[in-house]
Structure 1
Amino acid sequence: MLHLLRKQIACSAGILLVLLTASAAHAQFWIREGLNRPDHDNYLYYFGISLAYNTSYLHTSKNEHFLENDSVLVANPGAKGGISLGLLATLQLTPRWSLRSNPQLIIGGSKYFTYTLKNPARGESVTETRSMPSTIVSLPLHFKFNSDRIYNFRTYLLGGIKYDIDLASNSAARNAENLVKLRKYDFGVEAGIGFNFYLKFVTVSPEIKFSSGLTNIHARDPSLKYSSVFDKLQSRMIFITLNLED
């Protein structure tokens, strides 16, 4: 789990470094080109769209009886990539602060577990993978803190809450012998950093965001061997987003 988390953070840090380098280069170019849309920060509200790549995995807490399990030896979470499409609506509260809504549909990014199972017949272990596809409607609400605008460039920080609805939830499945059931609803917090580039007709904003679920989404069933080894399961996501705003 720690290896997975370090890999996710290292990847995100690398992408953020590339964004910062590109930001500096483009800021220098746009300084020479003149000021675009100088009245934009006076708008009370504005709208946009977002396109993101995300990775999703589950933070696990093993059940207290896991070590007593005689069939499942190891259970490790894994992460897969997906994409999300969303809408943006921003309300300016002050020159520094704004409130942003970003409802989005998250497609793909299925979660999975890799199990090492004991095979008594052969006296050896076998490895199996159990996937949990997801299609999530996410409803985040963020506060943004904006830096000073430097010609056609600005940095911002964001933080807020989210409410997720998993349309592919398997919590109501009946034939669940080989499943890990996940609940349909989740609540969590988000934080990130982004960069505004003011073009003549649109604002382009690359952004990186970390999302952490606070709810235990595991619908645990002690009679299921793949599910009973876990106590709590909490969602974790990392988003690399490109926002386009009017």
Structure 2
Amino acid sequence: MQHLLRRKIIYVLVGFILFASEGFSQSEVELNMPDYDQKRMHFGINLGWNKSHFNFTHHPQFLNQDSVMVVESINNTGINLAWLVHLNISDHFAIRTFPLDLTFSEKAFEYSLKYPDLPGGETPVTIKKVQSISLSLPVQLQFSSDRIDNFRVYTIAGVKADLDLAANAGKKNADDIIKLKKFDYGVEAGLGFHLYFPYFVLTPELKVSWGLSNLHSRNQQLKYSSNIDKINSRMISFSLTVE
């Protein structure tokens, strides 16, 4: 399902790029904001939609018990809100960061239980949700193509550090959920394009993020936590930036 979702998003983005290039690359197009790319620094507001899930590994204990039969990570949607700072270092390269980058997301695990505690509220298929409000600090290197009239394509690659403001690893009364640590770091890559209008630049972008830190605060006494070893975050996002 995740591969199909990514493929659909990529098809939509590629189609949008082709459509935009047709509209912005006619023979007699008025050049909007012709000096925009000569400016040393740009600022923008970014609003996005994300699809996130956990990538995890089973703990060896999973094979030695019979209460949890299957554990799966579920895709969930969220939103991103960020402030962009863009610094040109050459005609084709730039450094980007987001001093204020908030990501609201919800991830979940689905457990198939052989012996659910029905009086305790469990069902044969039990879902445990983990809400997240992350404050991120990414640093990205951007490589841009030459401008074609009012259209320009670019790619990005970078690193980021995340602080989850809603992390529950320190909570004492949260023994029935998966506990996660506050800090994470990872890498990301993406593709986007600039559309130049008379008074602003609109930038659609598709980005994929891979968390590298093990977020799991494991408790071997709890069946929801003991059967999972490492947990890493994964996210794919589509955003629009107005500069």
TM-score by length of 1: 0.92
Number of equivalenced pairs: 238
Aligned counterparts of 1:188 and 1:92: Cα–Cα separation in 2 = 24
Deviation, structure 1 residue 157: 0.4
Corresponding residue number in structure 2 for 1:33: 29
Corresponding residue number in structure 2 for 1:128: 126
Letter in 2 for 1:212: W
1:213-232 equivalences in 2 (<5 Å): 213-232=211-230
Change (3 A) 1:85 1:120: closer
Aligned partner of 2:161 among 147, 159, 163: 163
1:197-227 deviation per Cα after TM superposition (whole angstroms, max 9, x unaligned): 1111111110000000000011111111101
SS in structure 2 opposite 1:32? coil
Deviation, structure 1 residue 57: 0.4
8 Å CA contact retained: 2:116, 2:124 = no
Matched, 1:11 2:8: yes
Corresponding residue number in structure 1 for 2:188: 190
SS in structure 1 opposite 2:216? coil
Aligned partner of 1:85 among 67, 76, 81: 81
8 Å CA contact retained: 2:25, 2:148 = no
1:23-59 deviation per Cα after TM superposition (whole angstroms, max 9, x unaligned): 2233235x53311111111111111110000011000
1:125-181 deviation per Cα after TM superposition (whole angstroms, max 9, x unaligned): 811000001111111111000100011110000010111111110101112321101
Aligned counterparts of 2:25 and 2:37: Cα–Cα separation in 1 = 21
Identity fraction in percent: 37
Corresponding residue number in structure 2 for 1:105: 102
1:96-144 deviation per Cα after TM superposition (whole angstroms, max 9, x unaligned): 100001231112x20001100012899xx81100000111111111100
TM-score by length of 2: 0.93
Name structure 2 gaps, 5 residues minimum.
none
Aligned counterparts of 2:58 and 2:214: Cα–Cα separation in 1 = 12
Letter in 1 for 2:203: S
Name structure 1 gaps, 5 residues minimum.
none
8 Å CA contact retained: 1:147, 1:154 = yes
What root-mean-square deviation, in Å, do the aligned CA atoms of Structure 1 and Structure 2 show?
A: 1.7
Matched, 1:22 2:16: no
